């Protein structure tokens, strides 16, 4: 499957572009296995406020004062287009490039911020989307289901092959209406990058926090609280 795509933070290609970040030298290490978890109420069972605009979402993102000392905001990367080939994953092939790159998350209302921590390679990013509960649920659910449909596969982006795997994670119960979580491992050139991704839908808001597992765990609750706070 070869497609022309625009990269987003949830997508495989974006993580490939950020391969040096959040990485540990695991030359010769075995891959972890792939999967994710989803819990919560069906989207059509919840009635909450209508979608927020992008400007409103921007104000609900975590900033440096929320995160604490040692965090520096990364400048936004311009949209990039790469030829991406996914090998060995029929579930991703069924959805084409959308599943491999997060393309179905191009909701009209969205905001994003990314930070490095402590001058190291550790990073954390936050994305907020707003739309109807059903559209958010269907969009993120299709991507997580496709990405976790294969225990291992390979992605070739810009001619560079990367082995993919992930480890099943329990979704964080009690947060929002629906939850998804997975731990992705990207291996290329003798190095591996581990990225945790947790997504929470709360009514018409979708929060995705990605990056170094420790940083995601540290700031997830805070990110959701700020995103869903009533002005």
The continuous run of DSSP H or E covering 37 comes out as strand 36-40
The tens digit of pLDDT for each residue in 106-121 reads 788 999 999 999 888 8
Q: 2-228 maps to which CATH number?
A: 3.40.1000.70
Residue pair 5/123 in contact by the 8 Å Cβ criterion: no
**pLDDT (tens digit, 0 to 9) for every residue of the chain, 231 residues total?**
333 333 333 444 444 434 444 444 343 434 444 445 666 665 554 445 577 999 999 999 999 999 999 999 998 766 555 577 888 888 776 766 545 544 447 788 999 999 999 888 899 999 999 999 999 999 888 888 888 878 888 888 778 888 988 777 998 889 999 999 999 898 988 888 899 999 999 999 999 999 999 999 999 999 999 999 975
Quote the tokens at residue 195: 């990225």
Tally of CB atoms within 10 A around 4: 9
DSSP conformation letters of 85-104: EEES-HHHHHHTHHHHHTGG
Token pair listed for 188: 């290329």
Listed in sequence order, the DSSP H helices in the chain are 12-17, 54-59, 64-67, 90-95, 97-101, 133-147, 213-228
């Amino acid at each position: 499957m070869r497609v022309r795509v625009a990269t987003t933070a949830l997508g495989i290609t974006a993580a490939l572009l950020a391969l040096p970040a959040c990485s540990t030298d695991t030359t010769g290490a075995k891959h972890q296995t792939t999967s994710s978890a989803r819990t919560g109420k069906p989207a059509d069972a919840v009635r909450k406020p209508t979608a927020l605009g992008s400007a409103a979402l921007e104000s609900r993102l975590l900033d440096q004062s929320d995160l604490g000392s040692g965090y520096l905001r990364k400048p936004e990367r311009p949209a990039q287009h790469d030829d991406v080939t996914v090998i060995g994953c029929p579930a991703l092939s069924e959805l084409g490039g959308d599943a491999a790159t997060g393309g179905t998350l191009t909701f009209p209302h969205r905001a994003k911020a990314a930070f490095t921590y402590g001058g190291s390679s550790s990073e954390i990013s936050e994305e907020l989307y707003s739309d109807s509960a059903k559209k958010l649920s269907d969009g993120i659910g299709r991507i997580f289901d496709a990405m976790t449909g294969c225990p291992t596969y390979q992605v070739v982006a810009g001619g560079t092959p990367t082995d993919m795997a992930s480890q099943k994670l329990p979704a964080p119960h009690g947060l929002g209406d629906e939850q998804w979580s997975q731990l992705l491992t990207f291996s290329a050139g003798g190095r591996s990058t581990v990225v945790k991704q947790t997504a929470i839908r709360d009514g018409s808001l979708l929060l995705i926090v990605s990056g170094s597992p420790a940083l995601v765990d540290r700031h997830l609750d805070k990110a959701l609280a700020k995103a869903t706070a009533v002005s």
